[in-house]
Amino acid sequence: MKMSEKEIIEKAKKGNNKAFSELYKTHVTRLYRFMKQCGSRYSNDEIEDIVQRAFVKAFTKIDTFEHTSSFSTWLFRIAMNELRSDMRRVSLVTLEAIADEIYDYEDEHADEFVWNMAMKEMLNELSDIKKSVFILYEVEGYSHAEIGHILGMEESSSRSLLARTKQFLRKRWILSKEIDL
């Protein structure tokens, strides 16, 4: 019988190595690919290092995890903090500067947004925070509340950032089509 994630976490809290391995297998790909998008300036080795550090932190502090959020939300938050501390170290643009702003923006044309793979390139023109919100919501399927928890911001900020990102992508897409014509 397959164990639930909650049961696996409880086993991991008791120091069960198999439970750690199970949690790693379940979440590593999802975390790695997201971190690779967020930390697009980083090499594969550096992304590996951040992901590995996030797992070590999560596993060593697992007894503090109280199931108030999903394990992946908690893990993503730890990983984002690791990425932020790295960014601070190398003096790259920090995520907090944008995250601290108050947003009350709603895109009236949000429903008109249709994803196109060509937009992936355009995402790189955006700040890390906007890119992160977009991927977490549109690709990874997190709610705005969960994104707020992962990125350390208000739920409303996540909502506004997503709307702005979508508006940017839509406009940028229309512009690129016009240029092609």
Partner 1 sequence: MKISNFYDDDDMPSMEARQRMWNRISQSLSTKKQAHFFIETRSFFYGMVASVLITLCGVGLYSTVGGLVSSENENKETEAYKTAIREFEKVVPSKISLQSNQYEIIQDKKQHIAMIDKEIDKVNKEMSSPEFAELRRITLRQLYHTKLSIILSMIDNGEMEL
Contact code string over 31-50 relative to partner 1, x by CB under 8 A: -xx--xx------x---x--
Interface with partner 1, residue 109, by CB under 8 A: no
What is the rounded distance in angstroms from the CA atom of residue 134 to the CA atom of residue 117?
14
Interface with partner 1, residue 124, by CB under 8 A: no
Which residue, chain included where needed, has tokens 């790259």?
92
The residues, any chain, with a CB within 8 Å of residue 114's CB and separated by 6 or more, are none
Q: At what angle do helices 71-89 and 17-38 cross, to 10 degrees?
A: 50
Question: Please, which residue, 59 or 154, has the CB nearer to partner 1?
Answer: 59
The residues, any chain, with a CB within 8 Å of residue 122's CB and separated by 6 or more, are 168, 169, 172, 173, 176
Residues 128-167 touching partner 1, rule: CB under 8 A, are: 135, 138-139, 141
Interface with partner 1, residue 51, by CB under 8 A: yes
- Work out how close the CB of 62 gets to partner 1 at its nearest, in angstroms, rounded to a whole number: 10
Give the DSSP letter of residue 53.
H
Residues engaged in binding partner 1 (CB under 8 A): 15, 17, 20-21, 24, 28-29, 32-33, 36-37, 44, 48, 51-52, 55-56, 59-60, 115, 117, 120, 135, 138-139, 141
